[in-house]
Amino acid sequence: MTARRPTAIDIVEVGPRDGLQNDSRHLSTEAKVEMIAKLAGAGLRRIEAASFVNPKRVPQMADAEAVLARVVDLPGVSVSGLVLNGRGFERALAAGLREISFVAVATDTMAARNQGTTARGLVETWAGIAKRAEAEGLFRSVTIAVAFGCPFEGEVPLARVIEIARALAESGADEISLADTIGVATPLAVEERFAALSEAVPGLPMRAHFHNTRNTGYANADAALRSGVTVLDASLGGLGGCPFAPGATGNIATEDLVSMLERDRVATGVSLELLRDATLWLEGEMGRRLPAHGAHVSPWPRVLAA
């Protein structure tokens, strides 16, 4: 027997953050605000709107505060920002966010290259931030990057991921996410890792982040839902990529995920029609066709001519 999918899930739209962060085309602040407004209008209730990184390293996110000032009070939406260190946390607080996404890393090499520290160092960073975030009443989401494979170390032992997850949860978290940062996960790995995670941190909501780099992203999303995950990341149009995987496609696309899930009786609260309109608009802004299929195929089931 196959495990049942949940009857409803939350999608975290990460296009404005993970999508735009990795793209060579830089959108204006105005366009980013419009993108986020369209996403909120389509029914997305959680939107990752910016990343608090060094603008010298990631110039696409240099206007994080300017974008957030315009969208942080969108009604019915929890707008979040990616936090990598204490300075990022202070910026999130100053921007008035009520939700943060902290990023830990499963391997030391990735932690060293990306943040000049170790995997354990990031766990300690979280211990400090988690306390302050709790005191401020913020929703605390924690992600473990490269949880399915690392571009520098290759295979990532499951035991290592679980050890980090436990340590992060001990410091306090409202949900924990495993991220397939470079798009190498497959359904069996997803089942195995989330089964182990739910055993390690029972009762803690689980979230997953997939890229469609090797065409397994949607199969992985389905596997995650059959494994107890109730929050999935996706990006409008499948925007994005990964600086470490040239030629790779981006996150799984919000519209293709919604299309699959609604057919499978998993409610998302998102309007497929409005998402398709938003993607066509975004393709105009980006100056190219995006990887999602949804905006370019006929809706299904289609209204049939008499």
C-beta closer to a second copy: residue 150 or 176: 150
Nearest distance in Å: CB 261, a second copy: 8
Q: Which stretch binds a second copy (CB under 8 A): 9-17, 90-98, 182-190, 277-285?
A: 182-190
Q: Which stretch binds a second copy (CB under 8 A): 89-97, 128-136, 162-170, 258-266?
A: 258-266
Nearest distance in Å: CB 37, a second copy: 25
Contact 250, 238 (CB under 8 A): yes
Q: Is residue 283 a contact point for a second copy (CB under 8 A)?
A: no
Per the document, the length of the chain is: 306
Active site residue 150: no
Q: Which of 265, 267, 273, 284 binds a second copy (CB under 8 A)?
A: 265
Nearest distance in Å: CB 48, a second copy: 21
C-beta closer to a second copy: residue 74 or 184: 184
Residues in 99-158 that interact with a second copy by CB under 8 A: 149, 151-155
User: How far apart are the C-alpha atoms of 187 and 196, rounded to whole Å?
Assistant: 14
User: How far apart are the C-alpha atoms of 218 and 223, rounded to whole Å?
Assistant: 9
Residue indicated by tokens 């839902």: 225
Could you give the dihedral angle defined by the CA atoms of residues 143, 146, 147 and 151, in that order, rounded to the nearest 10 degrees?
Answer: 180
User: How far apart are the C-alpha atoms of 257 and 252, rounded to whole Å?
Assistant: 7
- How deeply is 2 buried, as exposed, middle or buried, from its count of CB atoms within 10 A (0-12, 13-18, 19+)? exposed
C-beta closer to a second copy: residue 123 or 258: 258
Q: Which of 52, 102, 210, 218 binds a second copy (CB under 8 A)?
A: 218
Closest CA to 10 of 201, 182, 174: 174
Closest CA to 100 of 70, 63, 72, 67: 72
Q: Is residue 159 a contact point for a second copy (CB under 8 A)?
A: no
Residues sharing a CB contact under 8 Å with residue 242, sequence separation 6 or more, in sequence order: 22, 181, 182, 183, 211, 213, 248
User: How far apart are the C-alpha atoms of 168 and 49, rounded to whole Å?
Assistant: 23
User: How far apart are the C-alpha atoms of 70 and 86, rounded to whole Å?
Assistant: 24
The H-or-E segment that residue 88 falls in is helix 86-94
Query: What does the per-residue mask of binding to a second copy show for 16-45, with x meaning CB under 8 A?
Result: ------------------------------
From 189, 224, 242, 266, the catalytic residue: 242
Q: Which of 213, 235, 254, 268 binds a second copy (CB under 8 A)?
A: 213
C-beta closer to a second copy: residue 85 or 216: 216
Residue numbers of the site for a second copy (CB under 8 A)?
Answer: 1-3, 5, 149, 151-155, 183-184, 186-189, 191, 212-216, 218-219, 221-223, 226-227, 245, 247-249, 252-253, 256, 259-260, 263-265, 292-294, 296-298, 300-302, 304
Task: Just list the catalytic residues.
Answer: 242
